[in-house]
Amino acid sequence: MLNIYLLRHGQTAWNADNNRYCGRTDIPLTEKGIEQAEAVEQQLWGVHFDGVYSSPLQRAAITAQIAADRAPVKDDRLIEVDFGAWERKTKEEFIPENPQLWQAWEDDPGTARAGGTGETGMEVITRVDDFFKELLATRPGGNYLVAAHNGVNRLYLAYKLGMPLRNYRRILQENSSVTLFTLNEKGDFLLERLNAKW
């Protein structure tokens, strides 16, 4: 049985700027983001992690390092969604530019390409699911901290919960929040805590 502590990275300047879309742009944490990661370290004090993993982007890797007090193994499969033309923009900016593109994503993010040229939701899910399947196949059990991003985390959770992917944004994952789920030897998923505070 794997216990996965799925962590969203701490605040960045773009999170604070009306949730400006930040996919692959590698921006740092704000001072508040660092404080949030330090709060997670206190929250998870006493939990022994058998492994720590993160997206290669600094906002996730640094959050993981602070929270677990050790350098994470970076894995490209945990990187944030490629948002295409939506990158660096807020919804208020990009929706008027092409309302049909946003509507296609709203209707079916599984097959629509984010920002027209980015990833589909199923492409994101496939790579994240592959990461967890490999972890399950190579590790007998234990506690694992995995730090990633709002988009990838919510798409994966929606998929594992059997939700229609168009509803993935109904899952709230706050900056530096911890979601705990388990994967048994058959890969069965159980959500134990969402945005948890111990």
The catalytic residues are 9, 80
Residue 7 parent element (H or E):
strand 2-8
SS3 assignment, position 130: helix
- The answer to whether 70 touches 52, Cβ cutoff 8 Å, is yes
d(CA 54, CA 64): 7
